[in-house]
Structure 1
Amino acid sequence: MKQEFKCIKCGLCCMSLKGVEQAKKLDDGTGVCKYFDRKNKLCTIYDTRPEICNVEKGYKFFRDKISYNEYLKLNYRVCEELRRTKK
């Protein structure tokens, strides 16, 4: 069975788009996703969000470079780093 990414829905990735080339069209100009509800800390288009915002679907952009398990590990590492630095 394929392992799934367990998102805690903190919204930190949605608020950290500055400099992320793949998310450039989503950035509202402040580094925050234009579809992110800052008050409720939720994505307003979650069910139809772009593939780059869905870890499982976003793997297609990286599958020629790293294994799926390594990709998940990197995503968890980025999440941990965001939580550590954005407190």
Structure 2
Amino acid sequence: MSFLTPFPCDKCGICCCHVNLSLETQFLDRGDGICLAYNPHLKLCRIYGVRPDICRVDEQYKKNYINKYTWQEFIELNQIACRILLSK
């Protein structure tokens, strides 16, 4: 697999504001569920270029899920997670 279509992220920051909910991202929690690297006022990651792999949907897919789902299925699962977080 050499090319994946980009993940359709609208950059709302909701995943960055709930890092405490996943064991994989709890290490990023600044103590209130918000990522240490997230600027909630600007809705931007301060370390985007060097963010951890857990924050990179395409890298997570390639490393952990490529044998379980198609890329489209993985996108759909992530979008479901986004909608759940938005409803909180």
TM-score interval (norm. to shorter): 0.7 to 0.9
Query: Residue 5 of structure 1 corresponds to which residue in structure 2?
Result: 7
The alignment's TM-score, normalised by the length of structure 2, stands at 0.83
Question: Which runs of 5 or more residues in structure 2 are unaligned?
Answer: none
Query: Residue 68 of structure 1 corresponds to which residue in structure 2?
Result: 71
Are the equivalent residues in 1 in contact too, given 2:4–2:71 (CA < 8 A)?
Answer: no
SS of the aligned residue for 1:22 comes to coil
Query: Residue 56 of structure 1 corresponds to which residue in structure 2?
Result: 58
Query: Residue 83 of structure 2 corresponds to which residue in structure 1?
Result: 80
Give the whole-Å Cα distance in 1 for the aligned partners of 2:48 and 2:39.
11
Aligned ranges 1:28-43 → 2 under 5 Å:
28-43=30-45
What CA RMSD, in Å, does the superposition of the two structures yield over aligned residues? 1.6
In the alignment, residue 68 of structure 1 is paired with which amino acid? W
In the alignment, residue 81 of structure 2 is paired with which amino acid? V
Aligned residue pairs, count: 85
Question: How far 1:39 moved relative to its partner?
Answer: 1.3
Give the whole-Å Cα distance in 1 for the aligned partners of 2:54 and 2:34.
15
Once the two structures are superposed, residues 28-75 of structure 1 have per-residue CA deviations (whole angstroms, 9 ceiling, x without a partner) of: 121110000121111001111111101111111223433322111101
> What is the identity percentage for the equivalent residue pairs of Structure 1 and Structure 2?
36
Give the whole-Å Cα distance in 2 for the aligned partners of 1:18 and 1:2.
28
